[in-house]
A and B are shown apart, each in its own frame.
Chain A
Amino acid sequence: MIAQLTRRERQLAILISLVVAILGLLLGLAGRNDPLGLHGALICVTGLVMIALIGRDYLAPEPSEDRFSQYYDDPIRAGILLAIIWAVFGLTIGDWVAWQLAYPDLTFGEAWSSFGRLRPVHTTGVIFGFGGNGLIATSFYVMQRTSRARLADQVSPWFVLIGFNLFCVIAVTGYLMGITQSKEYAEPEWYADIWLVIVWVTYLLLYLRTLARRKEPHIYVSNWYYMAFILVVAMLHIVNNLAVPVSFGSAKSYSLFSGVQDAMTQWWYGHNAVAFFLTSGFLGMMYYFLPVRAGRPIFSYRLSIISFWGITFFYMWAGSHHLHYTALPQWVQTLGMTFSLMLLIPSWASAGNALLTLNGAWHKVRDDATLRFIMVAAVFYGLTTFEGSFMAIRSVNSLSHYTDWTIGHVHAGALGWVAMITFGAIYSLVPWLWKREAMYSPRLVEAHFWFALAGTIVYVFAMWNSGIIQGLMWRTYNDSGTLAFSFIDTLIAMHPYYIARAFGGMLFLIGGCICAYNIWMTIREPKPSVERTGDLPEPQLAAQPAE
């Protein structure tokens, strides 16, 4: 892979790695009396390892000029593999903590293995590790193909990918040591947040530079969604993570905002992390892989415009529905509820557009498990967005909030929509990227599909039951006008559902492991190389010099 880089790119990569290593060293020295010291060391070692890796092949011959007549897919392959590793890791932790809620002593008795520290390891592992790597890898693929342009350079894709994974590793190891800001889905501390900003700006610039080289006059709809994902996540990340560190030698920081303003900022972030990380980016994925896999054009171009701008506008208002009946002023709650309801229109426009695209290709859905992953993802997207709007209604929320119903809702979206669409994209991409005719075993793809679907359904039904039962028990009164159930009564009632949930999660995890095995077997067995037809940038690109 190093051989693909030019001599100057190798020098640049070594320079960047050196800067990272020095920054890590400084951070480690400043934080030698703090858990921060370990992270400094980790960053420093990462930089040094990168230098060693590049240096080992530094003298390899330079790539030939004909690379410009091909897309640059090395970082995409790495991204796909990283996504799968994170998926198996994140799902495993998730299922472990699910069993802990049924059997609380399933820890090692150590601080790092308790629920409170493992829970963000699970969420970060699946959302950022699995989802993030999936988005970065597919965005690199889609932006090149839909623009008919090669990535703008060969260093920044690697910087984005490796830098992002370094962020994820810092985040996850930090939680285990007790480093967290406590803001849900924004737990990493100040130094990790600053690092992510640098990575993210590079990502945006790479995207724009590649689009600037495009041979297509129009920017395809997938790219709008990927761009919204990159831009708005940057906005949310920067505002919500504004904080003052205790010192440069301390991992700890204090949020700039407090109380009600902090709550609103956090859920403006939290809900739109769902919107722009877990929805927008994956819609970008869907708008490419669904029509390509089905061999049908998108049903309606206009519908895709309406849903894109609708989602981008309405979602940003909806965060306050996480704070119904709290100390947040009621006018904000009402705005949040209203926009959450309106959000159903662009959401269903997207889901409908996806499903109607399949008209004329339903026989393929029946025969092709990969396309079925994508189809089921679109169905779950429609169901979850309906449920989300429903739960944002104040009176419904009074029952559902603080209960497992929320957890069920999130997993209907995360397992049914995000993970399924990603698996669909990955199963499409792996043969294309590794130039194979098909996956190693289509039957294992089929098996994975049914494990994933069964796991999701068991999980979601368990959490619906548990959540609604608990919500109702909390508000049940005796004839004498006193509360009928103690909190402990509800815990006893939920126990069987917690076992069912952990079982459903296990099914989903088994599916993930099958996927990892199938990919491994596909890429390791030597096979004659099969190019995806027409998978080249336009010929005139070859004449262009490097930037």
Chain B
Amino acid sequence: MPPVVDLQNVTVRYGTNAALRDVTVAFPSGAIGLLGPNGAGKSTMIKALLGLLAPERGQMTVLGLDVRHAPLQIRRRIGYMPESDTHIPGMNAVSFVAFCGELAGLPRSDAMQRAHEVLYYVGLGEARYRNVEQYSTGMKQRIKLAQALVHDPELLFLDEPTNGMDPKGRDEMLDLVRDIAHNKQMNLILSSHLLPDVEYTCDHVVVLDKGTVATQGPIAALKGPGGRVFELRVKGDGEAFIAALQAAGLECHNTDDDVMRVFVPDERGAPFLFQLASKQHVQVRHLRASVPTLEDVFAKAVGES
């Protein structure tokens, strides 16, 4: 399968500040997570792919079309859910979504019919005649998704789709995204800094950091075929213990909660960790085994270890 999005040596600058630096990456079909901390260049990449930002150099293709030469053909086949709050003033939801459908080339009657359908799909069926300006944050996120879906795109760009949503709304939005990706045969690129969102909805991930690609690949492969992760809380000289872990060939990073996550790639397990702690005169106060998560991949990729 050819990649749905392909970037070759792309550099995008805001003035003198490079938001993307010589990025070369291919997004396969399916659900792809675009991960990275704030300011990593995720939104910039999406806007460049939409043709809203011109790269200083490099080549980009979306669905096999060159972004520089065929931006309109591309935009006809993609849907974009922006990160920021956005609407057309003075419209109710169904008029707004139908209007977006018409802008994307749908005939008026079809656009109206599709607007009703997608509003029901995203859970705004009962509120579709309300003015969009009166919507809550969660409803605004849903209507942004609806306007991106109304013309039935082949590829969806979702920029932080769960921003500002309460836990229940967030879960529902993620269910929608997952359903679109896995049951509706639509390719999507989900930009987020929330690892669980990406891990839940996507099969593949591209991690950006400081405008460069830190790592990429199928999530399952990045997590690694074997090994285990141990969450540890220790008392004593933690730094010496970490040094000893690293000297033993183990990957280790701290979390915000003073819990260190240690990745053990081979058969050595908890007894080995206890032995190492004993040698370093460190008390193990807490030890819990878990499987490697995207968080471990991310931390390793962006150098938080």
| A, B co-complexed | no
Query: What is A's interface to B at a CB cutoff of 8 Å?
Result: none
